[in-house]
Chains A and B, each alone.
Chain A
Amino acid sequence: MYPKAIENYFAPTDVAEVLTLLNQYGEQAKLLAGGQSLMPLMKLRLAEPQTIIDLNQVAALDDIREEDGRLHIGALARHSEVATHPIILQSYALLADAARNIGDPQIRNRGTIAGSLVHADPSADYPPAVMALDGQLVVAKADGSTRTVLVDDFLAGPLMSDIGEDELVTRIEIPAPVAQSGGAYAKHSQVAGDFAIISVAAQITRDPSGVCQQASIVVGGVMPKPCRAEQAASLLQGKAIDATLLTQAGEAAAEEVETEDDVRASADYRRQLIRVTVPEVVRQASARAEE
């Protein structure tokens, strides 16, 4: 299996150049970031771009920093960098959990956060994690304008995201969690490093007495895109998190999130996984909030 012939290959070195090329080649072009999904799609001839715009030489598109109360992650930040970055491990642990769960070491050395979100696989690790953290994407357009879009709206459906042919995601922004917040992410897959059958991301904020102030729970591995378990999250709100409450949250999430049969697992099995995984992940998130 080999990619179809590529007419044009460009390796621009700054964002302005990328946008000019996008404007010129638009619909026949594909942006190549880590390439860990795009290359297999090209080999399978499910993607046949005439023009490749390789982003890997673009400077300053991979930095990770905190600024104005937000975490900024450059579009090209590799999974291996997100998984090990001190700021992310310290304050955005669920994101590091998600990054560590993607593929294998070689894939994590190449794959990028924006690439994963644009690809929008409903079973991928980043989408539920970035949703649970209320992340936004900053998108640049060839005319020089930029827009910011909430990840919930950016993810449109299976392998569909809200990105125009003349647009480039330049970074992901995540609001810094308040004190006593913590998050966790876990997934179930058929084999190590595979896409999720079910994944759960949770971000919890507690007060000093251990009462849950705010909770966000997102379930991945469901169609058409990751789903917020809002009833489960609201159950936790205003209460001290104990074993009974955790069980109830798991039940509520299994009830409210719709599951489907596919090649990986049945709808029933997925529901059962949600029932047992939500309590586990919320417990871990809550423990991290206490630290």
Chain B
Amino acid sequence: MKRSIGITINGEVYEETVDQRLLLVDFIREVAGLTGTHVGCSVEGRCGACTVVLNGKAVKACLLLAVQADGASVLTIEGLAKDDALHPIQDGFWEKHGLQCGFCTPGLLMTLYEFLQNPKHSDEEIRTAMSGVICRCTGYVHIVEAVKHAIAAVEALSPEERKEWFPV
């Protein structure tokens, strides 16, 4: 019923004995105490608010068991900024006002984290990339502008800086 697992989240290892049915999103929120990863729809995995980066891939943390991530590396919204500097993706949303209530924003940013590792994208690709996160406030226009702002910023990074902002 229970199992001891260890998950590296934003570079820190969290070890706990958990119910085998515990969802990854609840491990992140309840065990690690990182509540920036949100729970929206909670059933079907349609809303995307719980998106995190698992071993380099954007995934919905409500559609995985925590035990599946034993030994894995997870990046959440709390792992994006460095000290006082916002991540280029966050900065794009800040500059272009890419959010209103902000509930979906962590999921959007983590989805875009994988997408922007290779920043050359058309408008249509930007919209397709965000199709797994539902925003109920903005109508997406400002979000697309924020992503374009972030793309320009990522393109301007040196290879070393890029590695620093995209460690996984």
Contact = CB atoms under 8 A, between A and B. Distances in A.
Interface string B105-145: 00000010011000000000000110111000000000000
Given A105-B132, A106-B59, A2 B45 contact: no
B149 interface: no
Given A105-B129, A106-B59, A193-B132, A5 B21 contact: yes
Contact of A56 (B51, B58, B68, B111): B68
Contacts of A5: 1, 19-21
B43 A4 contact: no
Interface in B23-78: 23, 42-45, 48, 51, 57-60, 62-65, 67-68, 70
B43 A106 contact: no
Contact of A105 (B1, B23, B43, B115): B115
Contacts of A11: 67-68, 70
A107 to B, nearest CB: 7
Interface stretch (A34-42, A135-143, A154-162, A164-172): A34-42
B162 interface: no
Given A35-B63, A35-B64, A106-B58, A6 B45 contact: no
Question: Interface on chain B toward A: helix, strand, loop, or mixed SS?
Answer: mixed
Interface residues of B, number: 31
B97 interface: no
A54 B45 CA distance: 19
Given A107-B132, A193-B132, A40 B63 contact: yes
B60 A107 contact: yes
Interface in A29-51: 32, 35-36, 39-40, 43-44
A278 B30 CA distance: 50
Interface in A128-149: none
A107 B51 CA distance: 10
23 contacts: A5-B20, A6-B1, A6-B21, A9-B65, A32-B65, A32-B68, A39-B62, A39-B64, A40-B44, A43-B43, A52-B65, A104-B133, A105-B58, A105-B111, A105-B114, A106-B45, A106-B48, A106-B132, A107-B60, A109-B57, A110-B59, A110-B60, A110-B64
Interface of A: 1-9, 11, 32, 35-36, 39-40, 43-44, 52, 54, 56, 80, 103-107, 109-110, 192-193
Interface of B: 1, 3, 19-21, 23, 42-45, 48, 51, 57-60, 62-65, 67-68, 70, 111, 114-115, 128-129, 131-133
